[in-house]
Chains A and B, each alone.
Chain A
Amino acid sequence: MKRFYILFFAMICAFLSATAQQPQSTPASPAPAQSGTDAATEQRLRDLEDRIVALEGEIRQLKAQGQQPVQNPNAAAPTTPPAAAPQTQVAAAEQGAAGAATQSENVRLGGAGGAASKALNPDVSVIGDFIAGLGHNPVNPTPTFEMHESEVGLQAIIDPYARGDFFISFGEEGVNLEEGFITFTALPAGFVAKGGKMRAAFGKVNTLHNHVLPWVDRPLVSQNLVGGEDGIDDAGFSVQHIIPAPKNWFLEFTGQTFRGDSSDVFKSSVKNDVSVVGHLRAYRDLSESTNMDVGASYSRGHNLFGTDFITHLYGVDATLRWKPLQRAIYHSFVARSEFIWRQQNQPDITACTAITCPAFVRTGFQRAFGFYASGDYQFARRWFVGARVDQSDRPFDASLTDKGGSFVLTYWPSEFAQLRGQYRFTRYAQNFDAHEAFLQLQFALGAHGAHPF
C-alpha cells in the first residue's frame, strides 16, 4: 500500500520536474534573462519548484520511516505550499489512514514484508577488536594473537516513549550479553530510566565499552578492584536526573540497583543480596574549548564469601578535556584520573577454611586502594599519543600492591578503523616485572553509533 504512495509521489515528481526543468535551464544559460521573463512566470516557476522539493522531502521521509506509524500526519500538511494543497493534503490524509492500515498488514506479513519493512530493522553495527601481544606475564597472561571481542550492536527506537540498545560481545568462544536495556526517554519531570542489563555508572572506565577506551587494556585499578574487563555489569534498574545547579553547572545524579552479581566484586547468594550504585557528576565548560568533568561514585553489595560479607566501593573521577573548536579534527587533549577504594569484609582467621579462603585471600577486613592517571594528546588528524600511570592494591589482600605504566600510540586510517600500539610495564607485588607490547586493530561495520562523552 505504502509503496504505491511512494510510486505515486515519484510519478508526480517526475512529471513536475519534467515541466520545471525546461524553463529552468533558460536562466542558467550564460546570459541571465532578467528583463525577458515576466515576474508572474517566475513566481509560478518558483512555486512549482517548491512543490517538487516538498514532495521530494516527503518521499525521503517516507523512505526513511518505512512503514513506521505516522506520528503526526498533520505536521506534513502545513509545510506544503498552499498551491500544492489539492493533491498533497489529500495524500497526507490518506497517508494518515493508510499508516494505520499498513501497520496491521505489516504484522500479518511478518518477515516477508519486502524491502520497505526492513526500514524498521534496528541499526546494526559490529566492532571487531583484534589484539596481538608480545612479552611474558605470568599473572595476567595474554595470547599471541586473539580476536579479543566482536561486539554486535543493535539499536533502535522502540516507540515514542523509549529506545532499546543491545550490545552482544562474542569472544573467540562464547557469547556474552554485555548490555541490553530499554531507556525511557519521555518520562515526566526530566527523569531518564533504564531497565535491563547494563554497565554500572561507577566512575568512568567502568561505563565504557572496550572500543572507546583510549588504551588496549583497562587500568590496573579496574582489573584489581572493579572487576576488570566485565566490570560492574549487571541486570537491574537505573534512574538518572539532572539536578538544578548554579548557572552553567551541569549536575546529574544516577541511582542504580542490580541483582548483585558482577565479576569478583559482588555475588548474590540469596535473593535479597542486591547491589546498589550511586553516581554524582558535575560538569562545567571552562571555556569554549576546555571543560572539566568530575564525579563521585559509591557502590555496595554482598561479596563472594556470602550474604553476611559486604563490599563497599568508593570512587572519585576527574576528566579535563581540551579541543580547540576551529581545529577540532586535528588537535585535542584529554587528561583522566580515577581514585578507587574497595573495602570488604572477609572471614576472620577462625572461620577461614581452605575452601572459603584460598591462598590469595587474607582474613578479616580489607581496605584496598588504587588509581590511574592518564593523558592523551591528538597531534594530527589521525594520530594520538598517550601515557598512563597505574597503581592498585589487591582486593583480597590489600597489603600487596601492583604498579605499572603504559605508552600508547594510535593511528586512525579513517573514522571507522583504528590501529593502536601499547607498551606496558607492570611491577607486580610479588616483586617481578612484566614488559609487554600490544598491537590492536579495531574496525567498525555498519551504522556508526555515537560515542559516549
Chain B
Amino acid sequence: MKIRSKFFSAMISAALIASLLLPSAAEAKKLRVITTLTDLASLTQEVGGDKVDVEALAKGYQDPHFVEPKPSFLLKLRNADLLVLVGLELEIGWLPPLITQSGNGKIQPGGQGYLDASQFAEILEIPGGNVTRAEGDVHPLGNPHYWLDPNNGRRIAKGIAAKLSALDPGDQAYFQQREQDFEKRLADADKKWMTQMAQYRGRKVVTYHRSWPNFAKHFGLDVIGYIEPRPGIPPTPSHTIELVNQMKREGVKIQLIEPYFDLKTPNSIASMVNGKVVVMMPSVGGKPEITDYFKLFDYDIAQLTKAFEETK
C-alpha cells in the first residue's frame, strides 16, 4: 500500500512537472522574430499571428538611416530565430555590427534566419550608370522606402509567410491561411484608400526626403521636388529659393515631411507659397494610434486628403 501510494505520488508529481513544462515548451515553439522597422514587424505579426513573437528595433518616428546600434538591441538579436530587414543599404550604418556581435549564427547574412525583405518588393529609383556621392547619400541598389505601397506590403507579407513556413513547417497551413486573410483585408482597405485618393490623382507635391516614391506611384501623386537638395544633405538657401519658385510656377501647395525632420524650412516654404506642411508617418508607430500597417495608410491618407481639401 505504502509502495503504491509512493508510486502514485511520484506519478502525480511527474504529471505536475510535465504540466508545468509543457506550456512553456509550447511557448518556446513560438518563433522569435526581430525586424529592423516597425512596418516589417506589423506585417510579420499579420501573417505570424500567435505563433510568433515579433519586435522591431527602431521606433516608427525615428529616422531609419540613423539608428544607434545600442547594446540593448543585442539582447533582442541574440535569441532571435529570424531577422527581417529592409535591405538596400538602409540599415548599413547600424545593423552590420549588431549582427556580428549578436553571437547568433542563425541571423548572419545568408543564414536561415536572415531575411532581406527588399527581394520581394517593387523597387523604384534604381540609379543607372555610375553612382557617386556627388549625388548625396544615394542608395546604389534603389530606394529603400518601398514598404509604403500596399502592393509591396502584400508581396512582403507573402515572402515572410514563406520564410516562417520554412522555419516552422508544422504551422505552414496556419501562416498561409493568415497571409491569404491579410491579403483579402488589404485588398479591401486598398479599395477604400484608392477611392479616398481618387479625386487627387495627379496632384503635385514636394517631399523632404525621397521617402515616398512607392506611395506616390500607388496613389498617383506627382512628386516634383525635394526640400533636401540631395539625399541626406540638409536644405540650402539657394535650393530652397529654386524650389519655392518651381512650386509657385506649378501651383504646388503641399509638402510631405517625415516626422524626424526639422519643420523650420518647410514652414517658411509653406508661408511663401501659401501652402501646407503635412507631417506624414512613414512607419507604423509614428503616432501612438498607428498600431498596424492598415492604420498607417489610414492616418497618412486622412492627413493628405485633409490638406488637399484645405488647399483647393
Does B193 sit within 8 A of A, measured CB to CB? no
Jot down 20 A-B pairs with beta carbons below 8 A, ordered by A. Answer: A53-B120, A53-B122, A57-B123, A72-B112, A78-B162, A79-B163, A161-B105, A186-B105, A192-B103, A250-B71, A252-B71, A283-B70, A291-B72, A325-B62, A326-B62, A327-B262, A328-B66, A329-B261, A450-B92, A450-B97
Question: Is the CB–CB distance between A283 and B123 below 8 Å?
Answer: no
Contact A32 to B198, CB < 8 A, known contacts A285-B72, A291-B72, A415-B137: yes
Question: Is the CB–CB distance between A283 and B93 below 8 Å?
Answer: no
Question: Is the CB–CB distance between B165 and A78 below 8 Å?
Answer: yes
Q: Chain A interface: which of B4-12, B38-46, B151-159, B247-255? A: B151-159
Closest 8 CB pairs of A and B: A186-B105, A190-B103, A57-B119, A78-B162, A283-B71, A250-B71, A71-B110, A53-B122
Does A271 sit within 8 A of B, measured CB to CB? no
Does B108 sit within 8 A of A, measured CB to CB? yes
Does A427 sit within 8 A of B, measured CB to CB? no
How would you classify the secondary structure of chain A's contact residues: helix, strand, loop or mixed? mixed
Closest to B261 in A: A329
Does B1 sit within 8 A of A, measured CB to CB? no
Q: Other than A242-B103, A448-B92, give 16 A-B pairs with Cβ distance below 8 A.
A: A30-B201, A53-B122, A53-B155, A183-B100, A185-B105, A186-B108, A186-B111, A240-B103, A252-B71, A288-B59, A326-B260, A327-B260, A328-B63, A415-B137, A450-B92, A450-B95
Contacts of B100 in A (CB 8 A): 163, 183, 185, 192
Contact A190 to B104, CB < 8 A, known contacts A75-B163, A414-B136: yes
| A window 269-298: CB within 8 A of B | 281, 283-285, 288, 291, 293
Q: Chain B interface: which of A58-66, A126-134, A256-264, A352-360? A: A58-66
CA–CA, A248 and B74, complex, Å = 11
Size category of the binding interface on chain A:
35 or more
Question: Is the CB–CB distance between A453 and B260 below 8 Å?
Answer: no
Question: Is the CB–CB distance between A452 and B97 below 8 Å?
Answer: yes
Does B174 sit within 8 A of A, measured CB to CB? no
Question: Is the CB–CB distance between B66 and A242 below 8 Å?
Answer: no
Size category of the binding interface on chain B:
35 or more
Contacts of B201 in A (CB 8 A): 30, 32
| B window 141-167: CB within 8 A of A | 141-142, 151-152, 155, 158-159, 162-163, 165-166
Question: Is the CB–CB distance between B110 and A79 below 8 Å?
Answer: no
Closest to B117 in A: A57
Does B78 sit within 8 A of A, measured CB to CB? yes
Closest to A285 in B: B72
CB distance from B38 to the nearest CB of A (A): 12
CA–CA, A321 and B69, complex, Å = 12
Does A213 sit within 8 A of B, measured CB to CB? no
Contacts of B103 in A (CB 8 A): 185, 187, 190-192, 240-242
How would you classify the secondary structure of chain B's contact residues: helix, strand, loop or mixed? loop
Chain A positions within 8 Å of B, measured between CB atoms, are 28, 30, 32, 46, 49-50, 53-54, 56-58, 60-61, 64, 68, 71-72, 74-76, 78-79, 81, 157, 160-161, 163, 183, 185-188, 190-192, 240-242, 248, 250, 252, 281, 283-285, 288, 291, 293, 321, 323, 325-330, 381-382, 414-416, 448-453
CB distance from A388 to the nearest CB of B (A): 22
CA–CA, A252 and B123, complex, Å = 39
CA–CA, A325 and B258, complex, Å = 13
Question: Is the CB–CB distance between A415 and B232 below 8 Å?
Answer: yes
Closest to B260 in A: A326
Question: Is the CB–CB distance between A57 and B121 below 8 Å?
Answer: yes
Contact A382 to B159, CB < 8 A, known contacts A79-B120, A453-B69: no
